[in-house]
Amino acid sequence: MSKITKEEVEKLANLSKLSLTPEEVKLYQDQLTEILGYVERLSKVDTRAVEVKGQVTGLEMVAREDVTKEYSCSSDNILSSLPNREKRYIKTKKVL
Amino acid sequence: MGTWENIDVIAKKVRNKKLSPLELVNKAINNAKQAKEFNAIISLQEDVAMQKAKKIDEKIQNKKDIGRLAGVPFIVKDNFMTFGSETTAASNILKGYHAPYQSTAVERLESEGAILIGKANLDAFACGSSTENSDFGVVKNPHNPEYVAGGSSGGSAAVVALDVVPFSLGTDTGGSIRLPASFCGVVGYKPTYGLVSRFGVIALASSLDVVGPITSSVEDTQLILDVIAGKDGKDSTAVDREKSYITDEESLKGKRVGVIKQFMEHGLDGEVRNLVENKINKITQSGAVVEEVSLPILDEALACYYIIMPAELSSNLARYDGIRYGHSSSSAKSINETYIKTRNEGFSSELKRRIMLGTFVLSSGYYDAYYKKAQLVRSKLIADFEKTLSKYDVLIGPTASTTAFKIGKNINNPLQMYLMDIITVAANLAGVPAISIPIGMSVNMPVGMQIISKQKEDKKLLGIAREMEKL
């Protein structure tokens, strides 16, 4: 494949919620091009007769009974991991 | 630094009051402190471990049931959620995070009386082959501190090689248990996909991740697997376990052993080749029928892996947004800035590289050519592996093409670093069990051999590995 463009790297960073310095853009441009150049070898593998395996050990439709269970982890425990909170609410910057 | 006896011997001595849990925890903590220069441990939980040891001691005095691993100290990779300490995944984005629940594997070990004394260093989010990508500093190889310990479970392998504890847990997505085990000269085991619950383990690539033990002997691995294997109702990919994984050595007489041709290529180091061939000769002398077997699809395994793994990683790491846990940027002025600044400050360059790679292969326009194609190649690999394994009891080859490399050697060349996984990734893509056992030293650095079997034949694989380990 041809070299990944600077604009493509910036778009990927944006989609991934990352921001890059101009030096990083250049670095990732080279590195991603090299890695994608390597993985492109798969295009030469003949997979016409291959049946797609959805799950590696062949499991299908794993489900459990729709019942509630007691759980040892309290909501206070979960709330205590929040970086920003007010009482029992998650606090964020303005969304809209 | 003292060495450890077999795990079942230690546990027996605790039951017979010949060893006390406090003594064992003390010994492990002291060992950990002495091994500090290797940077294998992120956090020690001295006080919590001592309290647990005291509780087991009381149970012994009161003649209560204390479990099969009573008093045995252990360490887990810091991507297992545990009570009593931070869980960081060796990433700045989770610094300070205290998990609200515990991983099933740790829970099961503790319910048999084993005592967690600390958390091992790793490549952040298990992304790496050398533990140089840790935000807590690089792990040094126990045999030579100028060399890497391998990754991503580098800390877990090093603590066993350094005799800090008798065993540890790691995770293996593309070789992350077997590669460091090979580089550090210990036994590293990747079970069949789904045999051990991943509940409470921080996800890298969910279709590949497995939990497994690192020990000094295959016998110890059997015991730990026996404790941690099996469904818990909290991991929907779980498969049924066998009643027991404890077996004696399985005779090699008449066993069909395939030496994987492709594993003996890939720039295999001459001395590594000699040691593997030496072992193969001994296996032949023990009465096994040994043949070379070619699996051409293996040449595509690494490329396939480096599409599927980043695709799943980029999805799994989307949850680190600075809102619900871990680091949150203090300088953000809007919600979008919270996401971007938090992730920028928290993720190292390797994670950013993999996240963007994953985002690329999943993006419209490229999805079919990369991700879908990789799924097709993976399906072919699974089928070819199954077909080949139906003709053999086990397949063997080296675990890595070289011994441990010098710290810093590959750090600026991601593709070169990714190539370290070329021999190990296939077992993850195929979901089959694979073990790395030490087979000798090359220029004072350990070499490992990999043994692979069919899915769900973990018990047989471990029996054969025990016999091969003795040769």
Q: pLDDT category, B252, cuts 50, 70, 90? A: very high
CB burial of A42-55 (b: ≥16 within 10 Å; e: otherwise) equals beebebeebeebee
The type of residue at B93 is: I
Q: What is the pLDDT of residue B74?
A: 98
pLDDT, tens digit (0-9, with 9 covering 90-100), for B332-363: 999 999 999 999 999 999 999 999 999 999 99
Distance CA B311, CA B464 (A): 35
* Six-digit token string for B88: 């960081």
Quick one: pLDDT band at residue B256, thresholds 50, 70, 90?
A: very high
Over 60: is that where the pLDDT of A95 sits? yes
Domain membership of residue B180 (yes or no) is yes
Whether the bond between B152 and the residue before it is cis, its omega within 30 degrees of 0, is: yes
Residue B91 a catalytic site member: no
Q: Is the pLDDT of residue B278 over 80?
A: yes
Count up the domains in chain B and report the number. Answer: 1
DSSP annotation of B318 reads G
Interface test with A, best of B93, B107, B195, B360 (most A CBs within 10 A): B360
Asked if the C-beta of B441 comes within 8 angstroms of chain A's C-beta atoms, the answer is no
Q: Is residue B461 part of a domain?
A: no
The pLDDT value recorded for residue B117 is 98
Query: Is it the case that residue B282 has pLDDT exceeding 50?
Result: yes
pLDDT for A73:
82
The CATH number that applies at residue B54 is: 3.90.1300.10
* pLDDT tens readout for residues B381-436: 999 999 999 999 999 999 999 999 999 999 988 988 888 899 999 999 999 999 99
Q: What is the ipTM of this complex?
A: 0.96
User: Which residues of chain B are within 8 Å of residue A81 when distances are taken between CB atoms?
Assistant: 97-100, 324-326
Residue B43 lies in a domain: yes
Q: Is B176 a catalytic residue?
A: yes
Domain that holds residue B220: 7-228
Closest by CA to B73, choosing from B150, B15, B160, is B160
The model's confidence at residue B1, banded by pLDDT at 50, 70 and 90, is very low
Which one is predicted more confidently, B338 or B2?
B338
Output phi, psi for B196, to 5 deg.
Answer: -115, 130
pLDDT for the residue numbered B2: 53
pLDDT for residue B364: 87
Of A45, A79, A1, nearest in space to B98 by CA:
A79
Residue A1 has pLDDT above 80, yes or no: no
Active site includes B95? no
Contacts of B338 in chain A (CB under 8 A): 92-93
Query: pLDDT over 70 for what percent of chain B?
Result: 99
Q: What is the pTM of this model?
A: 0.97
What is the dihedral sign for C-alpha B465, B466, B469, B470? negative
Number of other CB atoms surrounding residue B2 within 10 Å? 8
High-pLDDT (> 90) share of chain B, %:
95
The lowest-confidence range among B2-11, B124-133, B393-402 is B2-11
Phi, psi of B141, deg, nearest 5: -70, 130
CATH of domain A6-43: 1.10.20
For B257-268, the pLDDT digits (tens) are 999 999 998 689
Interface of A with B in 21-80 (CB under 8 A): 24, 28, 31-32, 34-36, 38-43, 45, 47, 50-53, 55-57, 59, 62, 64, 72-74, 77-78, 80
- pLDDT attached to residue B270: 95
* pLDDT (average), residues B219-246: 97
Chain segment B66-75, per-residue pLDDT in tens: 999 999 999 9
CB B421 within 8 A of CB B302: yes
